[in-house]
Each structure stands twice: as C-alpha cells, then as structure tokens.
C-alpha cells in the first residue's frame, strides 16, 4: 500500500517487495491529479518490470491507462476491470462478494500507525470477515511477516502493509 507519508522512502519499500510474489496498491489520494498520474506511471513501470501486481485506488481511468491488474475501492457502481475492496465487517465483506470483488483487504487486523486510536479487529474477527468475503482476503493493519504466517495458515491469502516495508524507519 502506498501512502504519502512514505515520502522518498517509497522507493526503498518497493525494492523490499519480493519479485513475482507481491503487488502494490497505489493510493496517494491527496497528491495533485497530474503529479498522481506521473507517480502512478513510475510505479506501474516498476511493477511491469518486476512482475508485481498493480492496483490503482479509486481511479478506474488511471487503472485502465496504466494496465493495472485491478482497481482498489473503485468509485462508481460497476466497472469492467477486476476490483478489490477494503472491508471492516462481515456485512462489508458480504457486500463486496455480492458486488463481484475479486479480492478484499480486511482491516485493521491489528493496531496501526495509519489509523491511530482506531479499533483493531484482531485475529478471530478478521478471520470471520475473510471467510464471509468468499474471495481471497489480504490482512492489513499492523501486519508483518511473522503475524501474517499464522493468518495465512488459517485462511488469509496474504498480507499488506505500509510501515512493514519501511525497514523499521517510520515517519
């Protein structure tokens, strides 16, 4: 997951991703539209070169233009591309499934710096939400490789993070 607070550390984080077994959800919501398109293009080039999956958050047109694999939380009712959704409850997971989501991000599984003071789901509830989605579920929120191992054994497809890819250097 990209995030504006990563700054230039974004490039180091991308370098840490395992080739062919990872992907990037490009968010950077608050960046001006033209700068966001340029940055997304740079990231798309890296994804294509390194065989990383690419999701573009919200912007279906940008996802199409860049040849993204999916759109994350697309704006608008229906689209012609695969899409993922963020889900925080069983009801949201069921709605994502009914809408045809290809993938869900269940969050926040654990406390996270991205949402300070937010209530974490914790493992049992996160697993219920993932099961309700009926599609591959990615754990998000306070995740790292150690926490993800148990969740993957119990049914999660994978995990995502922001701070986990910054190599211990936080904003």
Tell me the per-residue pLDDT of 47-78, one tens digit each, with 9 for 90 and over. 999 999 999 999 999 999 999 999 999 987 66
Q: What is the pLDDT of residue 75?
A: 81
The size of the chain, in residues, is 171
Residues 19 and 59: their CA atoms lie apart, in Å, by 25
170 has a pLDDT exceeding 50: no
Reply yes or no on whether the pLDDT at 33 is more than 50.
yes
Integer Cα distance of 131 and 23 in angstroms: 22
The structural domains of the chain, ordered by start, are: 1-74 (no CATH), 82-166 (3.20.20.70)
Task: Provide the pLDDT confidence category of residue 122 given band limits of 50, 70 and 90.
Answer: very high
pTM of the model: 0.91
The pLDDT of residue 171 is above 50: no
Backbone phi, psi, residue 15, to 5°: -60, -25
Burial 78-90 (b: 16+ CB within 10 A, else e): eeeebbbbbbbee
Mean pLDDT of 66-94: 92
pLDDT for 147 beyond 80: yes
């Amino acid at each position: 997951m990209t995030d504006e607070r990563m700054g230039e550390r974004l490039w180091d984080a991308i370098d840490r991703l395992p080739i062919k077994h990872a992907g990037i959800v490009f968010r950077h919501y608050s960046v001006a539209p033209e700068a966001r398109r340029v940055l997304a293009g740079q990231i798309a080039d890296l994804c294509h070169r390194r065989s990383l999956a690419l999701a573009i958050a919200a912007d279906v047109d940008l996802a199409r233009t860049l040849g993204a694999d999916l759109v994350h939380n697309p704006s608008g009712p229906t689209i012609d591309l695969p899409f993922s959704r963020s889900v925080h409850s069983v009801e949201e997971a069921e709605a994502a499934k009914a809408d045809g989501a290809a993938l869900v991000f269940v969050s926040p599984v654990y406390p996270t710096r991205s949402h300070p003071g937010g209530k974490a789901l914790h493992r049992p509830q996160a697993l219920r939400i993932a099961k309700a989605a009926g599609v591959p579920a990615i754990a998000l929120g306070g995740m790292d490789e150690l926490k993800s191992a148990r969740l993957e054994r119990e049914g999660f497809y994978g995990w995502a993070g922001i701070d986990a890819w910054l190599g211990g250097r936080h904003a």
